[in-house]
Amino acid sequence: MSLLSRPDRPRSRAISFVYNIDNDKQIVHLRSLVKQGKIAQWESVIAADFSWNKLTFGMSQCEFSFMVNAMHNLLPTPDNLRLWGKTQVDLGCSLCSKSNCTLLHVLNHCPFALSQRRFTWRHDSVLRLLNWAVLKCVDAANKQTPRTWPPPIEESFIRAGESRSKSTTKLEDSLLSHANDWRVIVDLPEKNWRAMIPVEILSTLQKPDIVMWSRSTRTMIFLELTCPFEENITSAAKYKLGRYEKLVCRVRARGWQCHLLTLEVGSRGFVGASCSRALTQLGWRSSKSTILGRIGDIARRCSYVIWLHRKNKTWSPISVYGEEESDLG
């Protein structure tokens, strides 16, 4: 009997069954590819928006070409030119003269670009948008009546003829929902903060990217952003957790609750799942896919600019924000 003719196997289930088999074969083949297969090794990365509207109207043709080729490591980097037999061109890094120059080197590791703060510029560009989202969460929390835990016992009772209300807000389950006196400091060059943590709470030279605290509940939250190569997102998160472990312990030793949230945004514009988790923990109310897409766009645009200047030793930061982010500067 044919699979499609079985009465207990609807056509939609049969199509899905065949599709999954074909999809598994494609994944196995993708993992076997040396360069293009790297994408199958990306861990903790949110699926990007590849809708027709996004690809057609969301970016220029040049930026789209950069995204696709960078994703599959097919850009004309010196190591690829060597692989393609282009022996009559300079195969070293044009900035630092490193012989084995890869896409990872150009976008994340070049010491000359690092000294000119090109990677810091990308990091700060993403951080401004994240800070905007954090301020939205804080503003919403500070306008609410703080939630108590456990909740008042009268909330557990339902009067006769009434039903339990199903309308709950995301803020109730967030780290911010138990206080309305939250303060925020962000480590951006235009802010020029000498200390990220109030000295009366703790004196330290460490400066997390965003620090939030509530004196009423004696709670402090650290947000630390990293823009690594997508293959290194997991290791970058582990490094940041280890780097700030002692600081978290020192804050807790002062009688404060302390939470450390790491956020990873890939240098090619693919956002780590840690960003989605952090927004949920902070009580983000709007569409997460929208804000995460904008964060990825900023990271990709910055990397595209870094790529275009890979042979230029002069550098001056530019704005990469679109109309939706025009209020960020």
Instruction: For 159-194, write each residue's pLDDT tens digit.
Output: 676 766 554 444 457 899 989 999 999 999 888 777
pLDDT in tens, 245-268: 999 999 999 999 999 999 999 999
If one compares 46 and 55, the residue with the highest pLDDT of the two is 46
Give the H/E segment covering residue 185.
strand 183-186
**How far does CA 305 lie from the centroid of its chain?**
19
Is residue 103 a contact partner of residue 75, using CB atoms and an 8 Å limit?
Answer: yes
Is residue 269 a contact partner of residue 48, using CB atoms and an 8 Å limit?
Answer: yes
| pTM, rounded to two decimals | 0.81
209 vs 123: CA distance, rounded Å = 10
Pair of tokens at residue 237: 């998160």
Pair of tokens at residue 121: 């510029």
The DSSP 8-state label assigned to residue 257 in this structure reads E
